[in-house]
Amino acid sequence: MENQKIVIGNLKTVMNINDVSSYLKTINKEIVNKQVVICPTNIYIPYFLKNGYSVGLQDIFINEDGPYTGEVTPNQAISMGIKYAIIGHSERRTHLNEPDEIINKKVISAVQSNMQVILCVGETLEEKQMLKTDVVLRRQLVNALNGLNIEMLHNVTIAYEPVWAIGTDNVASNKEIERTTNYIKMIVHQNRGYKNMRVIYGGSVNDKNIKELNKIKNISGFLVGGAAADSEKFLTIINEVVVNQ
């Protein structure tokens, strides 16, 4: 199971309840029990659970349990059968100034509750142009994984999501993704002594480019945004990556 590829759909905040209803009618039940995780906006999660889908949160709180207005804790997630949480998405880093230290606390609280963490890292366009990609990734990884032992790292997957590729149709090249993935694995090995870190790619993955992206040998799947909110496109991606593997 661990070596199988995974497809994670991050539905962000793009759907209202009418969109969710039509989505649930068109998304194929075949994907239940496959390596597919859907991360809806929190308020819509019960509809997805009721239909049998494997569900993830788009964020999680820094403590496992307790009274924190407006937040969702790992204990609450687990009690609903929610196993996955995206942490450190660039939209949160950018719009909420979420710092590495908070992301680190979220990662620890989630893995301590036995959740599977999808930790997002990635450089901005400016950082890429200034040739700072490696420095930025190293900083994000070292800080976010601070204090995690090997056992905890088993429950983490790194999502390499270059910020310049998110929602832009400007997908990273296979060569760039392969190189960066190797770099991420190397940093985690060097820094935490964990050799086999799983890395997935996100950023303008769609039904048209998935065949080509799926040729990349060292990644373990994809984190899909815009195309995941379109059931037809999402099913094409899923068929390419997990159904036919």
Q: Which residues are catalytic?
A: 89, 161
Distance CA 104, CA 144 (A): 4
Q: Which stretch binds ligand 13P (CB under 6 A): 44-52, 134-142, 199-207, 233-241?
A: 199-207
Tell me the closest approach of the beta carbon of residue 70 to ligand 13P, in angstroms. 21
Build a one-symbol-per-residue string for 137-166: x at contacts with ligand 13P by CB under 6 A, - elsewhere: ------------------------x----x
Min. distance of Cβ 118 from ligand 13P in angstroms?
8
Q: What are phi and psi of 109, to 5 degrees?
A: -65, -40
Size of the site for ligand 13P (CB under 6 A): 14
Considering the complex, what minimum distance in angstroms separates the CB of residue 34 from ligand 13P?
19
Q: How far is the CB of 14 from ligand 13P (least distance, A)?
A: 9
What ranges make up the beta strands (E) of 122-169? 156-160
Instruction: Sort 184 into a burial class: Cβ within 10 Å, 0-12 / 13-18 / 19+.
Output: buried
- Maximum separation of any 2 CA atoms in the chain, in Å: 48
Torsion of CA 211, 232, 165, 171, to 10 degrees: 20
CB of 120 to ligand 13P, least distance (A): 7
Q: Which long-range contacts (CB under 8 A, 24 or more apart) does 54-57 make?
A: 54/83, 54/84, 55/81, 55/82, 55/84, 56/8, 56/82, 56/83, 56/84, 56/85, 56/86, 56/116, 56/118, 57/82, 57/84, 57/85, 57/86
Q: Is 202 in the site for ligand 13P (CB under 6 A)?
A: yes
The yes or no reply on residue 224 touching ligand 13P (CB under 6 A) is yes
Part in contact with ligand 13P (CB under 6 A); list of ranges 140-148, 190-198, 221-229, 231-239:
221-229
**Could you say whether residue 204 binds ligand 13P (CB under 6 A)?**
yes
- With CB under 6 A as the contact rule, the residue among 205, 210, 219, 238 that binds ligand 13P is 205
- 225 sits near ligand 13P (criterion: CB under 6 A): yes
Handedness of CA 2, 106, 9, 120 (dihedral sign): negative
10 binds ligand 13P (CB under 6 A): yes
226 belongs to the binding site for ligand 13P (CB under 6 A): yes
- Are 20 and 45 contacting, i.e. CB atoms less than 8 angstroms apart? no
Residue nearest to ligand 13P (CB): 225
Which residues lie near ligand 13P (CB under 6 A)?
10, 89, 161, 166-167, 202-205, 223-227
